[in-house]
Structure 1
Amino acid sequence: MPPNNISQPIIDFAVSTNATLHTFTTRANITPNSFQTNTVIAGCVMFLAILIAWNLPILRDFIAGLKLLTVGIHELFHLITGLICGGQVVSICIDPNDGGATHVMGLMRTTPRIPRNPYAMPSFAQTFWSPSAVATLASGYIGSSIVGFLFVLLINCLVDIVASKACALVIHFGLLVPILRADHWIAFASIIACEVILIGLWFGDHGNALRFYVLFVGVMNLFYVVWDYVDERLFDKRNTSDCAQFSELLGWPTSSWFVFWFIYDSLVFTSAIFAGICVFRKTDDQMYREA
């Protein structure tokens, strides 16, 4: 029989683990509170609002500042992955209407792909002929979804107002980057307007409504594939979408790649919502007092 000084820590660890699992299981069965419900509804409404504002002539200019931030984050992941994979960055374009484009050399093969049925599954050779090129191309949508996930879950979806203020600082400095390179008064004015709204929400009512501003930016980043694809279809923008690049690289029609990435983003958004409901349980009153 082992001595008590050895068995007791094991017993304490088992009891602690069991208590933790019991607490998590209990939380998982709890229905959403009012704040969580409002956040989920607001996120769905914001998706439709962004889809409309991104493409209407006047509204798309009004949110040009946030569009620059979203496109910049997307292209940043292309840039970082391309450099990690050993490529050489030739040029980067970040435009609120024409979209973004990051040109990386050193990742493409020299032998052209054999034409195939566009609706056929990519062959093994087509899929793995250049893992670096595929990773660099996929990193844009994946990176945007990660940023959106963090904004929706850790910052806005059911944590607290104080965390939203911390995330607002990230947005604030992120908006200051494109303002240094803005070459049109519309983009410049839009960035200033976005900054003014951000500062106003920060000081108004202890930042109670700031979380919805951050949620708006989170949804805009998470579902970037939608704005990227629809923008290309409606306005025939100069910089093609990543879905079109996937079609050229691996086969399949552009619309098929859009459906694939949209399902992926929807699953990420759903996981953020359910994870927040199961883990974080602060109410409106608790967050308001902390703020």
Structure 2
Amino acid sequence: MAPILGSHSEIPRAIRSIARRAITQAGPEVARLAARHALQPRGLSVNSTQKTTLGVIIGYTVAIALLWNLPYVRWSLWPFKMLVIAFHEFGHAITACCTGGRVKSISLDPREGGVTHMQGGISAITLPAGYLGSSLIGALLIMCGFNIVASKVASIVLGVCFLLTLWWARKDWLTIGTIIAAVGLLIACWFIKHAEPLRFVVLFIGVMSSLYSVWDICDDLILRKVNESDASVFAKRYGGSSQCWGVIWSIISLFFMVGGILAGIAAFPEDWQEQEDDSKKFIPT
């Protein structure tokens, strides 16, 4: 959804402090896991554990595609749609902050919509950042979904993002409820079998976020041709057609998803037992 201009509320210092601590603690562990095998020259081979993960990704893709379009049962995806819409709006908000803009609020709509109220920023970056930002988040979550410890780190980073989103959406109860439910699910998974289920939840959210961007662009601009969208606003300001920009953003989103899968295969070749042993050492539960 295209961002709307508005006033600004400062992000509290406490949230910034929490974000810095989380990144400081999680960053070295991600680097260690990624570097463990990256420093050793090898081909991009796929072991049995990774084959299982790839099978789960394919299963998620098929299930999401079916549930997305089947009457009645499609509502089973509604909570996750709300979550990835929050990612979409977070993409607008964080790029606005990074380009000198100011965020007033974020809100979600029960009819699967969302809006970011903000002022300033570079619109050439903030407008596509909703779709491309949520796709990039999805790709990173897919990569982390190949490893338990990486999924733990991803959930910590997600928690920081959720804190920021909660601050911007502090007057919108649907957004607050969606985020609290997501945080509760992530926390619960930490305490089951050394957080092994966590990586499948992270993987599902990643696949959902990647596919949502592609499907929402196609649904809004190609199938239903909705007049007002991020792409239509972008086309009015910078030329071209909304359909053209939608196709370009969809292709980039798919590249992000494929990149996330390849990065996961390259960075995390550990088998189930190695992952579980690593998980016992990293914030054990």
Same fold (TM over 0.5): yes
CA distance 1:183–1:268, change in 2 (3 Å)? closer
Please list, as runs of the form range in 1=range in 2, the aligned pairs for 1:142-153 lying within 5 A after superposition: 142-153=132-143
Gaps of 5+ in 2: 1-34, 280-285
Q: Distance in 2 between matches of 1:46 and 1:79?
A: 28
2:3 aligns to what?
none
1:46 aligns to what?
60
- Does 1:162 find its partner at 2:176? no
1:181 aligns to what?
172
Percentage of pairs with the same residue: 35
The Cα of 1:165 is off from its aligned counterpart by 2.9
CA distance 1:239–1:71, change in 2 (3 Å)? farther
CA distance 1:171–1:88, change in 2 (3 Å)? closer
The Cα of 1:56 is off from its aligned counterpart by 4.6
What is the CA deviation profile of residues 157-207 of structure 1, one whole-angstrom value per residue up to 9, with x for unaligned ones? 3xx3133234335556739947983359xx95x777756654554333333
SS at match of 2:247: helix
Q: Distance in 1 between matches of 2:251 and 2:222?
A: 21
The Cα of 1:151 is off from its aligned counterpart by 1.2
1:26 aligns to what?
41
Q: Distance in 2 between matches of 1:248 and 1:49?
A: 36
The Cα of 1:269 is off from its aligned counterpart by 1.8
1:210 aligns to what?
198
1:122 aligns to what?
none
CA distance 1:51–1:95, change in 2 (3 Å)? farther
Please list, as runs of the form range in 1=range in 2, the aligned pairs for 1:1-291 lying within 5 A after superposition: 24=39, 26-27=41-42, 29-56=43-70, 58-87=72-101, 89=103, 92-105=106-119, 132-153=122-143, 155-157=144-146, 160-171=147-158, 174=162, 177=166, 181-183=172-174, 198=186, 201-232=189-220, 240-291=228-279
CA distance 1:30–1:140, change in 2 (3 Å)? closer
Gaps of 5+ in 1: 1-19, 108-131
Aligned length: 240
The Cα of 1:78 is off from its aligned counterpart by 1.3
SS at match of 1:93: strand
CA distance 1:24–1:171, change in 2 (3 Å)? closer
2:28 aligns to what?
none
1:125 aligns to what?
none
Give the greater-gyration-radius structure (CA).
Answer: 1
What is the CA deviation profile of residues 202-252 of structure 1, one whole-angstrom value per residue up to 9, with x for unaligned ones? 333333232111011112223442242245369969994423333333343
Amino acid in structure 2 at the alignment position of 1:243: A
What TM-score does the superposition give when structure 1 sets the normalisation length? 0.65
Kept after mapping to 2: 8 A contact 1:32/1:277: yes
The Cα of 1:33 is off from its aligned counterpart by 0.6
SS at match of 2:192: helix
Amino acid in structure 2 at the alignment position of 1:77: G
Kept after mapping to 2: 8 A contact 1:202/1:210: yes
CA distance 1:250–1:41, change in 2 (3 Å)? farther
CA RMSD of aligned residues (A): 3.9
Kept after mapping to 2: 8 A contact 1:97/1:237: no
Amino acid in structure 1 at the alignment position of 2:138: G
The Cα of 1:148 is off from its aligned counterpart by 1.8
